[in-house]
Amino acid sequence: MEAFIQFIVQSVRYGTPLLFGTTGEIITQKSGSLNLGVEGVMAVGAIGGFLFATWTNSLILGILAAFVCGALCGLLFAFLTVTLQANQNVTGLAMTIFGVGLFQFIGQNLTSGSGFPAMSAELAAKVGENGIPLLRDIPVVGDLLFSYNPFVYLGVVIAVLCWVYLFRTRTGLKVRAVGENPAAADGVGVNITRIKYLNIMLGCGICGIGGLYLGMVLRSGRYDGYGDWIAGYGWIAIALVIFAAWSPAKAIGGSFLFGLLLSLQAYRGAVVSIWPAGLSWMNAIPGEFYQMLPFLLTAVILVITSIRKKKDGGSPTALGLNYYREDR
Amino acid sequence: MKEKVKQPFVRFVRRENVTVRRTAAVLTAAILFALVLGAVLLAFNGTDPFSFYWTVISGNFANAIAFRNLIRAIVPLLITSLGIAVAFKLKFWNIGAEGQFMMGAFFAMTASLLLGNALPSFLTVVLVALIGGLGGALFGGIVGFFKVKFGTNETLLTLMFNYIAQYFVAYLLNVDFYRRPGGGIPVFKSLPTSAWLSEIRIGNFSFDTALIVALILVTGIFLYFKYTKHGYEIAVVGDSPNTALYAGMNVKKITLRTVLLSAFLVGLAGALQLQGPASGHTMSTGITGGMGWTGIIIAWLCRLNPFGILLGSSLMGILERGCEIARLNSGVSAASADILQGIILFSVLAFDLFIRFKPVFRKKTEGLKGGSDETAGQPGSDATAGEG
């Protein structure tokens, strides 16, 4: 049982960066923009937030900096795709190359120069698995729900707020209208440009926090001068947007499920140990299959929703299409 | 909804025609702009930008080996990008080149390991390359099938397929048929020599046969787009599927055929990369080297023109190899290439607007506040408010 609880706890830890990335990307996509550059945005958020956090020795300022760095990437993306009408797919891919490149550039120069900054003990303690006082002492439930680092709770709160924003506010209605049919939204007086800019920036800012989480918690702030901190998480987040049917609320469950899949590779022994007779087949399946599973599941879901032709999949109709008023 | 209606300072009007001359001029300006930006960044970093750029360019042509390596870097990128351009022409957003490249290499490896050195080398090389292409086509064709059958979103599905291919190949390292015997870090077997590409030597210079394939493909795809019935159909379907339907074209068939061709070319690029010396004739999980991504950007920014793509991938190759040379010579960080690449791509993307659109500046007399006659009746007009 202890091992199983550990496994769940690890799943949540692995899933949290996905929660940020997915929630951010949902906001962006709901306004009609397909940003394939989540990986790059998270990388920029990670390095910007981490440097600021270690410099000021403050977690909150670091999170804000990660948000701002992510939002700046979003500003660049919005400027290129909304104002300059550049192709969204291509801009997103360029963002990935640029963002990861910037991360490596800064990281490598710091490593070879003054040395890559380390988190102070105080900062490291803040991002530790401190949990919520008192509540975390409840047996089992305390471990499962109240034993995490502050990012986990921040992520859940942001996801819930984003759900309320998108589906329960007037502005959210406008955002969804822009994503579904910008020409119609324009016709009733919605400012398309402003909605798109703000939501792309908001979405990318949230992705940036996810990058910081990866750096501070999962990578413990260590950089080896070679591998970047994001390592594919941004792409999984894009997959998860589809899996979560473009709903930040579903993204909460979805990202912990994907986190579970990601940690299965390393921790499946713990799962098997619960019921060895029935679950031993899990050990026989190669680890790569578990890594592939998030993408395989998403592909299957994509195909199934398209076969059923259901519109409640949540995919914005105008996703990936630039809006140019004269084409209306 | 009381929003200020304001004539924007500058707005963009679509141009009637896109000329080659303007395209060339704008792209040159974009690259120069990016190089200046990059120079500032390098200078901040304590690198002399002029000597850095000089090393990047001249380093590739300094000796026969550097030049040979340059060609080896360009060729797979060129073929990949051509393949992507075929699908993009149809507005089928195939961003699955990473996966198709990988599966091309995987099929080629399987074929080569099965064939061994049994057949004459020439035959083996061709057979292995074609099987690789077919592998890519199969992998891309699955997505094409779902697209025409159910209208599945191809951008997202090809994206997922990239990672399915990636982890599939990673898994193969556990399979004895593919893994090199012995302990230590698992490595793939090298291809039997029969499947290796041969090198052609002219004086001091040498290049692989893949270069000839690539150049034939550039011309071939150019002619295919421009002078064949297929090329015409692709253009019509890409422009407007409804027009194509109305004209009696079988849009589904055309789409599937084009996707297969696109993925075949990308798979072929993967096979040739595996058969060539750049990969050491050996499969690896990193065999694509990100070419599936870079190829997409090149194809798009070169406006899907095969000769443009030849130029674009050459420039990208010079940049990548040149930065590597600069890194070895003067210890500039390896990430400089990525960041320069990113800046150039953003710059070209931004400047691209001036090829397709014409900026129109606000006249002094009109519209500071309140509706001007052009936007009257459209409260809350956005920044791209245009004329009728």
Q: Residue A90: which of B150, B168, B349 has the nearest Cβ?
A: B349
CB contact under 8 A, A80 and B350: yes
Q: What is the mean pLDDT of residues B231-237?
A: 93
Q: Is the domain of B172 the same as that of B94?
A: yes
Of B322, B340, B361, the residue at which a domain comes to its end is B322
Structure tokens at B224: 């295919």
Chain A residues inside the 8 Å CB shell of B296: 89-90, 93
**Each residue's pLDDT tens digit, B135-158:** 999 999 999 999 999 988 898 899
CB contact under 8 A, B385 and A325: yes
- B156 reaches A (C-beta below 8 A): yes
Phi/psi at B190 (nearest 5 deg)? Answer: -80, 160
Q: Which amino acid is at B88?
A: F
Residue A234 pLDDT greater than 50, yes or no: yes
Q: Is the domain of B209 the same as that of B251?
A: yes
- 3-class DSSP state of B256: helix
Distance (Å) from the alpha carbon of B83 to chain A's nearest alpha carbon: 16
Residue in chain B closest to A228 (alpha carbons) equals: B335
* The total number of structural domains that make up chain B: 2
Q: Is the domain of B112 the same as that of B209?
A: yes
**Each residue's pLDDT tens digit, A84-139:** 889 898 999 999 989 998 999 899 888 887 888 988 889 988 888 888 888 878 88
Residue B42 pLDDT greater than 90, yes or no: no
Helix axes B251-275, B97-115, angle to 10 degrees: 60
The overall average pLDDT reported for chain A is 89
pLDDT-wise least confident of A223-237, B69-83, B310-324: A223-237
Which 287-316 residues of chain B touch chain A by CB within 8 A?
A: 290, 293-294, 296-297, 300-301
Tell me how far apart the alpha carbons of residues B177 and B185 are, in angstroms, rounded to a whole number: 16
More confident residue, B357 or B180: B180
Tell me how far apart the alpha carbons of residues B283 and B271 are, in angstroms, rounded to a whole number: 10
Q: What is chain B's length?
A: 388
- Residue B290, exposed/middle/buried by CB under 10 A (0-12, 13-18, 19+)? middle
Q: Is the domain of B96 the same as that of B216?
A: yes
Residue in chain A closest to B2 (alpha carbons) equals: A189
Residue B14 pLDDT greater than 60, yes or no: yes
More confident residue, A141 or A207: A207
Tell me how far apart the alpha carbons of residues A211 and A206 are, in angstroms, rounded to a whole number: 9
Half-sphere exposure (Cβ direction) of B227: Cα atoms closer than 13 Å: 5
Tell me how far apart the alpha carbons of residues A74 and B345 are, in angstroms, rounded to a whole number: 16
Residue B3 pLDDT greater than 90, yes or no: no
**Residue B373 binned pLDDT confidence (cut-offs 50, 70, 90):** very low
Is B264 inside a domain boundary? Answer: yes
Chain B residues inside the 8 Å CB shell of A189: 1, 3, 378-380
Q: Is the domain of B137 the same as that of B27?
A: no
Best mutation target among A31, A35, A81, A93 (most B Cβ atoms within 10 Å) is A93
**Residue B369 binned pLDDT confidence (cut-offs 50, 70, 90):** very low
Q: What is the mean pLDDT of residues A60-85?
A: 95
A178-215: b (≥16 Cβ within 10 Å) or e: bbbbbeebbeeebbbbbbbbbbbbbbbbbbbbbbbbbb
pLDDT at residue B326, rounded to an integer: 86
Is B52 inside a domain boundary? Answer: no
Best mutation target among B346, B353, B360 (most A Cβ atoms within 10 Å) is B346
Which 75-114 residues of chain B touch chain A by CB within 8 A?
A: 93, 95
pLDDT-wise least confident of B32-46, B73-87, B160-174, B253-267: B32-46
More confident residue, B244 or B333: B244
pLDDT at residue A312, rounded to an integer: 55
Nearest Cα to B162, choosing from B272, B29, B257, B292? B292
pLDDT at residue A25, rounded to an integer: 97
CB contact under 8 A, A96 and B171: no
- In this structure, are residues B275 and B125 in contact, taking their beta carbons and an 8 Å threshold? yes
**Residue B384 binned pLDDT confidence (cut-offs 50, 70, 90):** very low
Domain extent, residue B275, equals 64-322
Residue B1 pLDDT greater than 80, yes or no: no
The enclosing H or E element of B359 equals: strand B357-361
Q: Is the domain of B202 the same as that of B266?
A: yes
pLDDT at residue B329, rounded to an integer: 82
Residue in chain A closest to B334 (alpha carbons) equals: A105
CATH code for the domain of B155: 1.10.3470
Half-sphere exposure (Cβ direction) of A225: Cα atoms closer than 13 Å: 10
| DSSP string of B301-345, one letter each residue | HTTT-HHHHHHHHHHHHHHHHHHHHHHHHH---THHHHHHHHHHH
pLDDT at residue A156, rounded to an integer: 96
pLDDT at residue A311, rounded to an integer: 58
Residue B388 pLDDT greater than 60, yes or no: no
Q: Is the domain of B309 the same as that of B367?
A: no
CB contact under 8 A, B161 and A299: yes
pLDDT at residue B178, rounded to an integer: 93
Residue B230 pLDDT greater than 70, yes or no: yes
DSSP state of A316: -
More confident residue, B171 or B374: B171
Distance (Å) from the alpha carbon of B142 to chain A's nearest alpha carbon: 11
Q: Is the domain of B40 the same as that of B152?
A: no
Chain A residues inside the 8 Å CB shell of B156: 238, 242, 298, 302
Half-sphere exposure (Cβ direction) of A272: Cα atoms closer than 13 Å: 15
Residue B387 pLDDT greater than 80, yes or no: no
More confident residue, A9 or A325: A9
Q: Is the domain of B236 the same as that of B357?
A: no
- In this structure, the number of other CB atoms found within 10 A of the CB of residue A3 comes to 13
CB contact under 8 A, B12 and A299: no
Domain extent, residue A239, equals 2-327
pLDDT at residue A146, rounded to an integer: 86
* The total number of structural domains that make up chain A: 1
Tell me how far apart the alpha carbons of residues A120 and B39 are, in angstroms, rounded to a whole number: 35
Chain A residues inside the 8 Å CB shell of B350: 79-80, 84, 86
The overall average pLDDT reported for chain B is 87
pLDDT at residue A165, rounded to an integer: 97
Distance (Å) from the alpha carbon of A147 to chain B's nearest alpha carbon: 32
Is B190 inside a domain boundary? Answer: yes
pLDDT at residue B5, rounded to an integer: 58
pLDDT at residue B30, rounded to an integer: 92
As a whole-number percent, the residues of chain B with pLDDT over 90 amount to 57
pLDDT at residue A328, rounded to an integer: 59
The pTM assigned to this predicted structure is 0.88
